[in-house]
Structure 1
Amino acid sequence: MSGADKSKDAQRHFLFLQGPLSPLYRRVGKALWSAGHGVTRVNFCGGDWLHWHGAGTTAYRGRRSDWRAHVANLMERFDVSDLVVHGDTRPYHREAVLEAEGRGISVHVTELGLLRPGFMTHERGGLVTLSRFPDDPAEIREIASRADVPDLSPRYPGSFALEAWQDVTYHLTNLATWPLFPRHERHTPQHPLADYARWCVRLAGASARRRRALREQDELLREQDPFFVFPLQVEGDYQIRSHSPFATMAEAVQHVIASFACTAPERARLVVKTHPLDNGVRNWRVDVGKSARDLGVGERVSVLDGGELGELLARAAGCVTVNSTAGFEAFLAGTPVNLLASAVFDVEGVVDRQPLETFWHEPCPPDAELVAALLRALATTTQFRGTIHNPAGLEVAVENLTKRLLRPATPAPSWLCEPPPRLARARALGVPL
């Protein structure tokens, strides 16, 4: 897959940066090369090399401050037509995206799917705040009216063992090959060894924690008082770091509890639910409990370290989230959703855009017809079948992502919005993009 050998005669040239912890990008690159296109991949660390090395790959070992000039040189050298990245706001990726946009290069961004399990995301230009998917209900209904009814049946269940193996081999390879990439800056905030140590502790106590969470959930569901669910996101997630006004998840928690304490009805309760992939870097029971007690609502705010989100949403008065896909699950269940930051499903009539202080008292349920249209429109435009955490799903993901990348770059799809329709609203909230 030599970029130098193929770029001269190729119709297009694809530049791949970091992908998911999976062979997905390597196999897609091979398919594009076989179709007659140029393909170049940049490796930033040993884990990247593990997933894709050999012909058509190059290593970047320089400082991050010099990266933009380097990627600009690559784009010029290979006459790059398309940039492909997994997650568009990782530091190396963000600079490359900005350089590509300035040169008129098509940007393709992948991520895990909104319609999980069995789907992945592919968007032109960016994700979340930078998504070009429309937020106008009329445009969404128009897309849905032209779309086939999507098959949303669950497929390709994920394998925790496979996901863990991919993660551990990637990060341990990074540690072993650090002398070869001494200037590499990882995009994750926690050192992998510290992360794994916390996971060992979490896994050891998983059974007891699950029993306690289900017991507490049953007690909550038997009560008559209304409650709101606040599903947490993983501390350090780019959904928080790049696409929200909060520096940390803990800061968002403090914001929500303060609003609840000051303005929520006296009979209402707030249930803070931990993320399934929370590694225990924070003791949420302790942190949330202290904040709630300090604000005088210690008896009305609780933490569920586990439990079943679907069962909670079915009874909840509303769901508050920064921008988690848990919000997607909530409005599909007919539960009112209030967002603290931008998300691709931030659509008037789907989410409740009232201030949080009003939402506690009068949460507005989603428009079921608009929700159905949004689901169909997203499935048609930004989602594709496949997964990286299931062998059969990987085969499907390779085929479908290759097809999407091979679609003509011009003209752009008629629904693609420029500028990103959520960007101005997000910046007004303090999102740093």
Structure 2
Amino acid sequence: MLQYRVGHVPVNGAGFAWPDQNNTAPEGAGLHEAGFAQLSMHRRILLLQGPNGPFFSRLRDLLVANGSQVTKVNFNGGDDLFHRTGDVIQFTQPMALWEAFLREILTQRRIDAIVVFGSSRRHHRIAARVAEALGIAFWAFEEGYVRPDYITLECGGVNADSPLAPLAIADIPKVRVPAKPRKFRHSFRKMALYSFWYFAGGMAGARRYPHYQHHKPFGMHELGQWIRAAYRKQLYRWQERPLREQLLANDHPHFFLAPLQVYNDSQIRVHSPWRRIEDFIEWTAHSFAEHAPADSVLVFKHHPMDRGHTDYAAFIEACAARFGASGRIVYIHDAHLPSLLHRCMGLVTVNSTTGLQALFHRVPVIALGRCFYAKPGLTYQGSLDAFWNDPGTVDMRVYSRFRNYLVRVSQINSSFYADDMLVPVPEQRRKDLQRRKLARLLFVAGLVTADAYSGRVWDITATVNLLAALLVG
């Protein structure tokens, strides 16, 4: 049985209860806590796209066990792979017809809540607009604002669309420090495995969904980029050792940190002044070259999930040369982020949750895009040009107040990929399942080997379908 505390139903439609006149929130005084129980308050729920893997399938089982009726819409073969039972609808039409298709489902099944993962995908943005027009609750999951060991669940949207965004620091009630969270092992490993099978399912189901466009294209090219990422990680570890040692030394230079987001991050396209990461790099480099102290350094740090897809080394070097800052603007891929934060003078971001990590380490932060935590009293509110010379300090009392409330109302101590509490399995059954998976893996390996050396043209679509059916089914 799941051991999550039952929170209160949101009282203002924004996903949290407003503070009382004394601006305090004692335990149980009307302040809801984030949890799966919030979704169980709804009777008829529509699930759209979830994170890669079986999380939404497990969530469906949890909601059904609590008495809700759940419908799932699948958009591609990856969705089909992980969500094959229950009330499942396949949307195979062009995106131009999605809104009409969605409205028909909402009406026929009398849906009172829509649940998605990430509120910036095109079909989710349309769903949010329709939900608002029809008075239907719109819940969005997202990776944890506080990492690791948390996931995000908010009503109305996440990140820049979070109900926390318009809330002033003065309006945030004081709540108790959250309990020590449960830890999850092998979360990244499981995420990578689920992502592989999701993309494999997407490739295998391409004919069933001819109009679907994923934010990362399904195909062997994407797989090749993840393989390249593994290679580059080892390469950068060796190539960047001198720079890494210089930045982490006791006599390190005075430096500012600019962590980059992934190249296709919807937070860049939807909630920032720019459309590309290169635009942010150029803007930040120019401001630094013109206004930062002459003895300071700007460090651009690559996003670890983007290692195989992009490399901005040549672009950053060209910007530094063009702005007369060669040697003062550097680029690194794989340095320990907390160690960098412990030493840097300030952090520049568009709207990444890395900013929250920086504040935890008492590092001043400036957010250049729409960002739910970019609030007076918490982050720097002046211009980027001025930030380099006087970034200010972090008021840790304000930060702790905000973080405690953030965790309380929007964070669930769980994992999309590694939380066994979502699927209670008796120990003996767990061992049986592990033995079955091993047997299936050996069987699949034999089939693939035989097919590859049979002398026939290798039908990769048929192989992917077989692998998916045997290993995930």
Structure 2 residue runs of 5 or longer lacking an equivalent are 1-40, 425-473
Alignment partners' CA distance in 2, 1:271 and 1:11: 47
Alignment partners' CA distance in 2, 1:393 and 1:203: 31
In the alignment, structure 1 residue 131 sits paired with structure 2 residue 162: yes
Aligned to 1:173, which of 176, 189, 201? 201
Aligned to 1:207, which of 224, 227, 234? 234
Q: Give runs of aligned pairs for residues 259-338 of structure 1, distance below 5 A.
A: 259-338=287-366
- 2:381 alignment counterpart: 353
TM-score between the two structures when normalised by the length of structure 2: 0.77
**Amino acid in the other structure paired with 2:284:** V
Aligned to 1:66, which of 73, 76, 97? 97
Alignment partners' CA distance in 2, 1:202 and 1:187: 18
Aligned residues: 382
In the alignment, structure 1 residue 55 sits paired with structure 2 residue 86: yes
Aligned to 2:112, which of 81, 95, 109? 81
CA contact (8 A) 1:118 1:157 kept: no
Q: Give runs of aligned pairs for residues 184-195 of structure 1, distance below 5 A.
A: 184-188=212-216, 190-195=217-222
In the alignment, structure 1 residue 12 sits paired with structure 2 residue 43: yes
In the alignment, structure 1 residue 217 sits paired with structure 2 residue 249: no
Alignment partners' CA distance in 1, 2:205 and 2:102: 23
Summarize deviations over 1:243-300 as a string: whole Å, max 9, x none.
2121111111111111111211211110111111123333222111111111111110
1:106 to partner: Cα distance: 0.4
**Amino acid in the other structure paired with 2:88:** T
Task: Let me know the Cα RMSD of the aligned residues.
Answer: 1.8
**Amino acid in the other structure paired with 2:95:** R
TM-score between the two structures when normalised by the length of structure 1: 0.84
Alignment partners' CA distance in 1, 2:112 and 2:262: 34
- 1:99 alignment counterpart: 130
**Amino acid in the other structure paired with 1:371:** Y
Alignment partners' CA distance in 1, 2:182 and 2:389: 35
- 2:439 alignment counterpart: none
**Structure 1 pair 327–154 and aligned structure 2 pair: CA distance change class (3 A):** farther
- 2:30 alignment counterpart: none
Alignment partners' CA distance in 2, 1:353 and 1:341: 12
Alignment partners' CA distance in 2, 1:290 and 1:149: 47
Summarize deviations over 1:179-216 as a string: whole Å, max 9, x none.
1111112233x454323212212312422312333431
Greater shift in the superposed pair: 303-312 or 192-201? 192-201
Alignment partners' CA distance in 2, 1:294 and 1:104: 52
**Amino acid in the other structure paired with 1:139:** D
CA contact (8 A) 1:117 1:157 kept: no
2:306 match: secondary structure: coil
Summarize deviations over 1:128-169 as a string: whole Å, max 9, x none.
2211115311112x1xx2x33202446113433311111111
Greater shift in the superposed pair: 365-374 or 178-187? 178-187
Greater shift in the superposed pair: 239-248 or 278-287? 278-287
CA contact (8 A) 1:195 1:279 kept: no
**Structure 1 pair 253–70 and aligned structure 2 pair: CA distance change class (3 A):** same
**Amino acid in the other structure paired with 1:197:** G
**Structure 1 pair 85–354 and aligned structure 2 pair: CA distance change class (3 A):** same
Alignment partners' CA distance in 1, 2:406 and 2:141: 14
1:242 match: secondary structure: helix
Alignment partners' CA distance in 1, 2:88 and 2:409: 30
Alignment partners' CA distance in 2, 1:42 and 1:327: 34
Summarize deviations over 1:379-415 as a string: whole Å, max 9, x none.
110001100232436559xxxxxxxxxxxxxxxxxxx
**Amino acid in the other structure paired with 2:229:** R
